[in-house]
Amino acid sequence: MTHPTRTGRVHVSTLTAYPVKSLGGVSLEQAVVEARGLRGDRRWAVVDPDGRKVTAREEHALLGLRAEPLDGGGVRLLAPGADPLELSPPHDATPVPVGFSGQDRARPAGTKADEWLTARVGRPVRLVWQDEKTHRPVRGDMGGLEGDRNSLSDAAPLHVTSETSLRRLNDWVLETAFERGEEPGAPLGHERFRPNLVVSGSEPFAEDTWSTVRIGDVQFRTTMVCDRCVMTTVDRADLRTGKEPIRTLARHRKWDGATWFGIRLAPVLPLAPGATLAVGDDVVPD
């Protein structure tokens, strides 16, 4: 497979973990890579009392909350004007039913976590944790292979976006606004897409063509180009929903009935002991 000419050395420019699915995350300088992705990434999630997953697609308030990883797999929950809440993994809690594809049980975090989240979401919700013994596969229709493992992420262990691809998208968004006589908004940031890695130095959308890629010393396989949902239209500053980027992606990046931006990766197994990724690592497509 040939690749578009690169504009310079392709490298990791930012690294982010999201300990709780749909909550804001934390920037990292380096992270340990596990079969399920970055250590501490999306091992916790919000569900309703019946175990159905609750995400920022329907509850935008989750995007106004933040989670930080703690040693030992714990998490600290943060919200403006609220006392932080620190939680340890509930190793001994009896698993409860949950509605994640490929995973029907998870361990509940407990009453304190549930009350903290419920007060901020505005309806009864629970926090659950994916324990180390859980083997959640990456679905075959989303590029998964036998032995792949996933966190509580939607489709694959890692999500990657590109600086140059986002610049091209913002150019398109600006063109759309001018054509429609609208006042241009602020440029979109990568936080709209919640990537684990942002890469710099490639041509716009070169990542679409990557089948395998080495990042630092770790080899990854592309499972799919990432289809985008309404969550990307929520402004992180005021949690209001707009039309972008879905409107412009539908014009320039629509196929198979969906809009596309970024790629999803799975680490090639087995991983070397102590495998890590770091800001500044080279990104080398094969």
Domain that holds residue 261: 11-285
Tell me the whole-structure pTM to 2 decimals: 0.94
User: What percent of the chain clears pLDDT 70, i.e. is strictly above it?
Assistant: 97
Predicted pLDDT of residue 104: 97
Position 34 pLDDT exceeds 50: yes
Predicted pLDDT of residue 237: 87
The average pLDDT across 122-133 equals 97
Q: Band the pLDDT of 3: cuts 50, 70, 90.
A: very low
User: Are the C-beta atoms of residues 126 and 46 closer than 8 Å to each other?
Assistant: yes
Residues 6+ apart with CB under 8 A from 204: 162, 164, 165, 167, 168
In the chain, how many domains are there?
A: 1
Does 270 fall in a domain? yes
Does 1 fall in a domain? no
Does 244 fall in a domain? yes
* Tally of CB atoms within 10 A around 12: 22
Position 8 pLDDT exceeds 90: no
Predicted pLDDT of residue 7: 47
Q: Which of 185, 183, 191 is nearest to 170 (CA)?
A: 185
Q: Band the pLDDT of 286: cuts 50, 70, 90.
A: confident
Predicted pLDDT of residue 229: 94
Position 264 pLDDT exceeds 50: yes
User: Are the C-beta atoms of residues 162 and 241 closer than 8 Å to each other?
Assistant: no
Q: Band the pLDDT of 144: cuts 50, 70, 90.
A: very high
In terms of DSSP bridges, do strands 158-162 and 197-200 run parallel, antiparallel, or are they unpaired?
Answer: parallel
Q: What is the pLDDT of residues 72-107, one digit of tens each?
A: 999 999 999 999 999 999 999 999 999 999 999 999
Tokens of 23: 């909550």
Position 203 pLDDT exceeds 50: yes
Position 279 pLDDT exceeds 80: yes
pLDDT averaged over the chain?
Answer: 95
Q: Band the pLDDT of 240: cuts 50, 70, 90.
A: very high
The average pLDDT across 237-245 equals 94
Q: What is the pLDDT of residues 155-187, one digit of tens each?
A: 999 999 999 999 999 999 999 999 999 999 999
Per-residue 3-state assignment (H helix, E strand, C coil) for the chain:
CCCCCCCCCCEEEEEEECCECCCECEEECEEEEECCEECCCCCEEEECCCCCECCCCCCHHHHHCEEEECHHHCEEEECCCCCCEEECCCCCCCCEEEEECCEEEEEECCHHHHHHHHHHHCCCCEEEECCCCCCECCCHHHCCCCCCCECCCCCCCEEEEEHHHHHHHHHHHHHHHHHCCCCCCCCCCHHHCCCCEEEECCCCCHHHHCCEEEECCEEEEEEEEEECCHHHHECCCCCCECCCCHHHHHHHCEECCEEEEEEEEEECCCCCCCCEEECCCEEEEC
Position 259 pLDDT exceeds 80: yes
Position 5 pLDDT exceeds 70: no
Position 2 pLDDT exceeds 90: no
The average pLDDT across 201-217 equals 98
